[in-house]
Amino acid sequence: MQPILPRVFGGRATGLTLAAMPVSVVLIAVALLSAACGGKSEEAPPPAAVTNPVDPATAGAITGVVKFEGKAPAAQPITMDSDSYCEKQPRNTIESVVVGEGSGLQNVFVYVKDGLGNRVFPVPSTSVVLDQKGCRYAPHVLGVQVGQTLEIASSDDTLHNVHAVPQQNREFNMAHQLAGIKHTHVFSTKEVMVPFKCDVHKWMNAFVGVLDHPFYAVTAGNGRFELKGLPPGTYTVEAWHEKLGTQTQTVTIGEKQTSDVAFTFKS
């Protein structure tokens, strides 16, 4: 037997009159077909697009590096034996503290926490993709804007549930029973960070930073990041790490200026 339908959120039951039934049946059928190919989970209409208030002629940038001080923890292998499909995947290690080249700390979410005033930024029309691949979330840390579409996909030929447990936004839990299935979700409120987990596979987790502006980045393997296109001003920049906590720094940039900043986390 084939699965009936993935779960769709945000739906609302409506009363149907007999006269409206044929149209309703068609609409329901279309909705069901649409849901069978994926689902959409939307919390609120995205804010109206406005002209980017940043003048490209004066925009600057903040670049920097996040480093890990001390002895880097040994990479812990993930035991995936609770699912024979996952067990066959390439051996992976826990991603909570990943130290790379030059003691750079990977998977740190760096963003402008304060200093943008009441500017309103346009919502990107492109989606951000969170995939389930090899029984892991990829990427492990990512950012998305309020109103932007987060596309949650599965490349795995096993069952996953995508369970987001935010504090400010609405919690959701989606069934992903097929490889190739996709759901989309739109967050309505900024929140750093929204944890994602899979209750089927305990080791699977990801963190999504939801912001009302585009000035965020996730550190690469060498710990480096770049926040481009910032208007001149003084900003509070925060670096968030899932295990090591947060750090903030105040950074001032002038017209067309690039300021460099460094964060250091200790074990």
Chain residues in the site for another protein (CB under 8 A): 1-7, 82-86, 158-159, 161, 163, 165, 171, 173-175, 177, 198-202
Q: Which tokens belong to 40?
A: 């959409």
Minimum separation from the CB atom of position 36 to another protein (A): 10
Find the farthest-apart pair of alpha carbons in the chain and give their distance in angstroms, rounded.
72
Placement of tokens 């670096």 in the chain? 239
Residue 66 Cβ, how far from another protein at the closest point, in Å? 28
For residues 205 and 95, what is the distance between their CA atoms, to the nearest angstrom? Answer: 9
Q: Which is nearer to another protein, 163 or 190 (CB)?
A: 163
Distance of alpha carbon 94 from alpha carbon 98, whole angstroms = 8
CB of 171 to another protein, least distance (A): 5
Based on CB atoms, which residue is closest to another protein, 6 or 104? 6
In the DSSP assignment, the letter for residue 93 is: B
Q: Minimum distance from CB of 161 to another protein (Å)?
A: 5
Decide whether 113 or 160 has the Cβ nearer to another protein.
Answer: 160
Which token pair is 54? 């940043």
Residue closer to another protein, measured from CB, 69 or 87: 87
Q: How far is the CB of 180 from another protein (least distance, A)?
A: 15
Min CB(143)–another protein separation in Å: 24
Q: Which residues of 103-136 are buried (b: 16+ CB within 10 A; e: fewer)?
A: bbbbbbbbbbbebbeeeebbbeeebbebbbebbb
**CB distance 265 to 247 below 8 Å:** yes
- Return the number of the residue (7 or 213) whose C-beta is nearest another protein: 7
Q: Which is nearer to another protein, 113 or 201 (CB)?
A: 201
Of 85, 88, 80, 79, the closest CA to residue 158 belongs to 85
